[in-house]
Amino acid sequence: MAQACDPVVLRGLCRDWPSTRAAARSWPDLAAYLKGFDVGLAGQAFIGAPAIAGRYDYGEGPGGFNFDRESLTLGQTLERIDQAAADPGRASVYMGSLPTDDYLPGFDQDHRVAFLPSAARPRVWLGNASRVACHYDTYDNLACVVAGRRRFTLYPPDAIGDLYVGPIDHTMAGQPVALAAGAEPGDPRFPRFEAARDRAAVVELAPGDALYLPKLWWHQVEALDSRNLLVNYWWDAFAAGPDAPFVTMMLAMIAIAERPPAERHAWRAFFDHYVFRPNGHPLDHLPPSRHGILGSLAEGNYGKVRASVMRMLRGG
C-alpha cells in the first residue's frame, strides 16, 4: 500500500466499524454513538448560506471566502446539521479534520486499519451536502466513508500546471486549491484546464467504502447526502525525520525561482542529479565507503546533512 502511486478504491473496508453500523441503522444512532466519546471541545466549522449550496470556496465575504467560520462543539455541529437537513433555507454546516484523540478520545480503539502505521490517527469530517474545492495533501491519505455518499474527482500531481492553483498563503483550510476544477467547460479564464479535464477520475463511495489517495494527488470531495461523516488517516511512510518536501520546495522558491532562466536551468540539472536521481545514486561510480554524507540516510547521514544545512541557514 505505501509504495502505490495511484489511488485505490477499497470497497467495504470499514463497513463493520461500530460507527458505520450505527449510521446504517439511522443518523440519530450515529450521533448518539459519537456523543458517547465527545469531550465538548470546540472546533472551527464552516457555515454556508443556502445560496452557495454547500460549495465552500473563495468569494467576496469576510476574508475573501463565500462562507463564515464559527467555533462549535461536536454536539452543536450535529444539531446544526440536523436543522439544515430538515430545512433547506437554513445555513449548511461543514466541520473537518477533527483529531479524534482530542475531540473523541477512545474512538480509535474500534476504528483501526491493520495495514496503517500506528502513528496514523483517525480524524472526522462531518456536515451537510457539500463540495470542498479541489486540493492536495502532502501526506498519504486513507478516506473512509461512514455515513452518506462521497464523490471524489481526482487529478494526478503532474496536472498542477493546468489546474490554475490559487495562493499558497490564502487558503480555505490550509492547502492551495485548483481554481479551474469546478469551472464550467470552456471557461475563458482557464484555457489550459481543458487539457486536464479529460484526465479526471471520478470515484463514488458508499458507506463502508474507502479510498487510498497517494500524497500530492488533487481531489475535489463532494458529500452527496444531507448528513455525512467521513473518517480519514494521514501518514508519510517514507519520512526520514521532521523535514518535509513542501518546506524544502518553499525554501527552493526563495533561493531559485527568480534567478535568470539559464541559471534555473542549470540548477534543475543539479536537482535532478542529486535529488530526483533519474540515473541512480549520484555516487554509484564510487564504493559506498566513499559516499560520505550522500550515503544512506538511515546510517546516520540524515543528521549530518541536516546539521550542515542548519549551519548554512545560520550563516555559519
Average pLDDT value over all residues in the chain:
93
Tell me the C-alpha distance between 75 and 293, whole Å: 53
Tell me the C-alpha distance between 162 and 13, whole Å: 33
Q: How far is CA 14 from the centre of its chain?
A: 20
What is the residue-wise DSSP string for 238-292?
T--SS--HHHHHHHHHHHHTTS-HHHHHHHHHHHIIIII-TTS-TTTTS-GGG-G
Q: Cell numbers of 154, please?
A: 481526482
Whether the CB-CB separation of 260 and 252 falls below 8 Å is answered with: no
Whether the CB-CB separation of 46 and 93 falls below 8 Å is answered with: yes
Q: Pick the closest to residue 49 from 27, 66, 71, 30 (CA basis).
A: 66
Q: What would the mean pLDDT of 126-141 be, rounded to a whole number?
A: 95
Tell me the C-alpha distance between 175 and 162, whole Å: 17
* Confidence grade of residue 240 (pLDDT, cut at 50, 70, 90): confident
For the stretch 48-59, pLDDT in tens is 999 999 999 888
Q: What is the pLDDT of residue 3?
A: 52
Q: What is the pLDDT of residue 1?
A: 42
